[in-house]
Structure 1
């Protein structure tokens, strides 16, 4: 097993910082990566941060995390959270703990965002803390690692 935590980001998250900052905040994905690198050093964890707009790539990366012995996966599947049975199945197919991450709180938004296929299989969910949702999720990953 490695000390690597995969941080997988789905569609449109490459636009963070400019996309609906009233909902998602002004931090960019690079800003979040920096926060995670800093916290990861404190926790003794390596961060492998990735973003794609393609559902199948997220599935492939989940499989890779399992194959590479990752400590955990932090997954912000963005809109795929609410639509992707493929991600649900991929999370169920691996033993690596998956922590669902959201910048906003989907339960306070449009009705269609209230269903989370990712959450049906994720070990835990961290949401509604803006960019700090990722840092809090990394703390969860460290706790899970230390519990094994």
Structure 2
């Protein structure tokens, strides 16, 4: 059996669909997760979101042991968490960073990124569709398909 693809999300992603929809879109996190499950019905997916930095770090470490690929939207922790950077740096699996908006086109404090230097790839600014692209790339990187 193939290892799963982990899709982890950071703070406030549980508010998708209602929080600043002009920036983040109207899709909820469950909408995004449902599309990922439909996109890859034969791929094991671990879909999680937390508002806790420590929990996210623990899940990243778990992904390093259990996953084929990690798709990560660290949300605000992208710009603040050295602990997350260090956890990601220890991984031996591909890491695909996803952002619904384009942080580089937003406030200056969002230009600091502790994830990108240790990520395999970054997808930003494509809204919820970015997750679908990331899953396609993850499947290809893990040898599970993808177009």
Question: Distance in 2 between the 1:90 and 1:73 partners?
Answer: 12
Q: Which residue of 2 aligns with 1:103?
A: 100
Q: Which residue of 1 aligns with 2:71?
A: 74
Q: Which residue of 2 aligns with 1:117?
A: 114
Displaced runs of 4 or more, over 2 A = none
Aligned with 1:146: secondary structure? coil
Aligned with 1:137: secondary structure? helix
Over aligned residues, Cα RMSD in angstroms? 1.3
Unaligned ranges ≥5, structure 2: none
Q: Which residue of 2 aligns with 1:28?
A: 28
Question: Distance in 2 between the 1:115 and 1:134 partners?
Answer: 22
Question: Distance in 1 between the 2:9 and 2:123 partners?
Answer: 14
Question: Distance in 2 between the 1:12 and 1:89 partners?
Answer: 22
User: Normalising by structure 1, what TM-score?
Assistant: 0.93
Q: Which residue of 2 aligns with 1:6?
A: 6
Q: What are the Cα deviations for residues 32-69 of structure 1, in whole angstroms up to 9, with x where unaligned?
A: 0011101122xx4221100100111111001111222x
Unaligned ranges ≥5, structure 1: none
Question: Distance in 1 between the 2:112 and 2:133 partners?
Answer: 22
Shift of 1:140: 1.2
User: Normalising by structure 2, what TM-score?
Assistant: 0.93
Question: Distance in 2 between the 1:103 and 1:141 partners?
Answer: 17
Number of residue equivalences: 144
Question: Distance in 2 between the 1:2 and 1:55 partners?
Answer: 28
Question: Distance in 1 between the 2:94 and 2:82 partners?
Answer: 18
Shift of 1:3: 3.3
Shift of 1:92: 0.7
